[in-house]
Amino acid sequence: MKTYCSTFATIGLCLGLLLQVLASPLKDLKVSGDTKWLLHLDLESFFSTRIGRFVNETLIASQKEQIQTDLKRDFDFDLDWKQIHSITAFGSDYQSQPDTAAVLLLQTGGALQAEFHQLLESKIDTGFGPLEILPIKSQIEHLYSIGGELYIALEPEGRFLLGKSRKQIEAAQQLLAKSQTRALEAEAFTHYPDLPNTIIFLAVADGLGELASVPPQARILQMSNGGRLAVCETDKSVLLQVELRTKDKKTSQQIHSVVQGMLSLVLLSNADERLTELAQAIDVSSGEAMVTLKLELPLERAMETLKRFSP
């Protein structure tokens, strides 16, 4: 029992790590017009960058290998990571209740999906160790429950939908089938300036003032209407840019002052040489309804900084 649970926990941890460190342009992704937040990971594009190759080789390679080993040992399933093309998480609110949980969309190769579908069918009677596998009668042709806590839908063209709520999975399936709204056209993703070259990380959120509770370090977000965080790699540099949308110039100036104060505290504390170095390089500016934090480092220097933060 411990072995099976460990396998699924490892998969969850790896996906969680990916969601924290990777993302790219949204291109043709379709979402609801009321989408509040979205993280999109184009793994093929990311791993073509120098930053991406470094992350793959030093931060997640061992986790990927462990997952492959566990799946082969426990389920006789050969996972080809190259067949996972993108991972997208999105939601229309910031609630945490199961009935309003986020949905995870995986775009994979058809061969991987067919093999996983076969694996699920073979485990309906026996389950994954203590985790019961149940086929669910639904408008979705292939919908399964794993352990009564996770729902997986197999969609055409290699798409997987995963979530903790059957209702949410079915709603997402209908949305993807009908929606004509491109992600970059949704309200949450407009009103931001263009970004240069290859986007390594992209996270966008709308309605940040609706957050009921946030950590003290992040309460500044409640002063804004929305925000975007992006990390872009050019031929010679890495750019980290944060933009916070505000309702007016006065709010922009207030956020600007708060951020400057936080950076000053970091510089005065001298607690961590690496953080002090980064704080010195951050430029903060504000306009009529936007506050921008920009950190641009030469590519070689950025690689050295990553190495210092890596295990």
Cα within 13 Å of Cα(222), Cβ side: 10
* Mutual angle of helices 249-269 and 273-281, in 10-degree steps: 150
CB 203 within 8 A of CB 228: yes
pLDDT (0 to 100) of residue 283: 94
What one-letter code names the amino acid at 14? C
Is pTM, for the whole model, over 0.85?
Answer: no
pLDDT (0 to 100) of residue 8: 41
pLDDT (0 to 100) of residue 6: 44
Based on C-alpha coordinates, what's the Rg of the chain? Answer: 21
Residues in the chain: 311
CB 153 within 8 A of CB 178: no
Is residue 157 exposed (0-12), middle (13-18) or buried (19+ Cβ within 10 Å)?
Answer: exposed
In this structure, what token pair is assigned to residue 30?
Answer: 């379709």
pLDDT (0 to 100) of residue 13: 37
Q: Sign (positive/negative) of CA torsion 200, 18, 243, 172?
A: positive
pLDDT (0 to 100) of residue 249: 93
CA distance 206 to 229: 12
pLDDT (0 to 100) of residue 134: 94
Every domain of the chain and the residues it spans: 2-25+40-178, 191-309
pLDDT (0 to 100) of residue 92: 75
CA distance 29 to 88: 9
Q: Give the CATH architecture of domain 191-309.
A: 2-Layer Sandwich (3.30)
The residue to which tokens 């009529």 are assigned: 288
Query: Please, what is the Cα angle at 284 between 93 and 263, to 5 degrees?
Result: 90
Give the pLDDT means over successive 10-residue stretches in the chain (311 positions): 43 38 46 72 81 85 89 87 86 64 85 93 87 92 92 91 88 74 59 74 77 67 85 85 92 92 86 80 92 91 78 66
